[in-house]
Chain A
């Protein structure tokens, strides 16, 4: 079993239009590096100077990674990862 990654519309040009892709890693940083192999350019849209871009939110099983270790957040097979652009509420 791999890790399922949900890609937002705006980043699908990097995944050949795929809405859901799969990766394998034991941390978020590892996952992004793994995805970059099959989907070149994606990593640069997620990271800036080695950190998560300000307007990108990533969730592991619905929890914001910034509160569970950031790029070092641990991952295991079966986790679901969701990438979303930051939008306003209110």
Chain B
């Protein structure tokens, strides 16, 4: 496939069957390989869509500075696009993310402001909002509330899945900004009203939930509960176990959040088998494992990996 530039090549990712992990010929799992995007993650879709929307409505002008709270992938996507389009990028990132993410952002030319580990991305959001207020010229695209994030999946991810898998019965993805599930979920339900839209959210160690009070909790503005059928919380042990299984059994080297999603997808497959239903379960491979090699998730026992991930923002 030929494109005029790297930015043009976002999306149109392959969907591959998982013949070894699928429980039967009637209950099948399909992986949508979003790691095959320009910077290696699903976030390229939302990042480019948000930049293009801000250019179109005049918010983003040549040479502008962009500030964004991110735990990594969105920042990396924005950094690549900003580099090519001539924007300056400032990322507010929790200090407990993997060093690979910091290195990549720096290479693409982003500036990084660290937010405290306790409170995780909530703190990054709070700090970014504060800084944006002090610097009214800076543009915050704000992935948690920007409709262009949802729209990227409504226009891209959703239609691609339906085209490749018209018999889709389940769509399983990670719940972060909620953009993937809201956008692709809405599109798929419009065309397959019986589809189950299933969210897998990472359950981190206690440090990440270390808010000072409950009112500091955070629900993304984009989130609409009515789009989802079910929502699961997946801890690091199950996420790592499935990440390793995906590599060992199907050859796919994915990041840890994908393991959490696969865990929920396999749960759905199990329910379908028990109910005697046939199912085509599509799930998102968010990114490859490269950025997480230093976390300890890919070596040693599951106990070792679980201990190593405690306190880290692994998804």
Contact = CB atoms under 8 A, between A and B. Distances in A.
Contacts, number: 100
Contacts of A8: 206, 209
Contacts of B120: 87-88
A62 B235 CA distance: 9
A84 B74 contact: no
Given A55-B215, A62-B234, A64-B230, A85 B209 contact: yes
A63 interface: yes
A48 to B, nearest CB: 10
A63 B176 contact: no
A86 B203 CA distance: 11
Q: How large is the interface on A (under 10, 10 to 19, 20 to 34, 35 or more residues)?
A: 20 to 34
B209 A10 contact: yes
B34 interface: no
Contacts of A90: 70-71, 73-74, 121, 143-144, 176-177, 220
Interface string B208-232: 1111111111111000010011111
Contacts of A79: none
A37 B287 CA distance: 46
A53 B219 CA distance: 12
Interface of A: 8-11, 45, 53-57, 59, 62-64, 66-68, 82, 84-90
Interface of B: 69-71, 73-74, 119-122, 124-125, 143-144, 174-177, 199, 201-204, 206, 208-220, 225, 228-235, 315
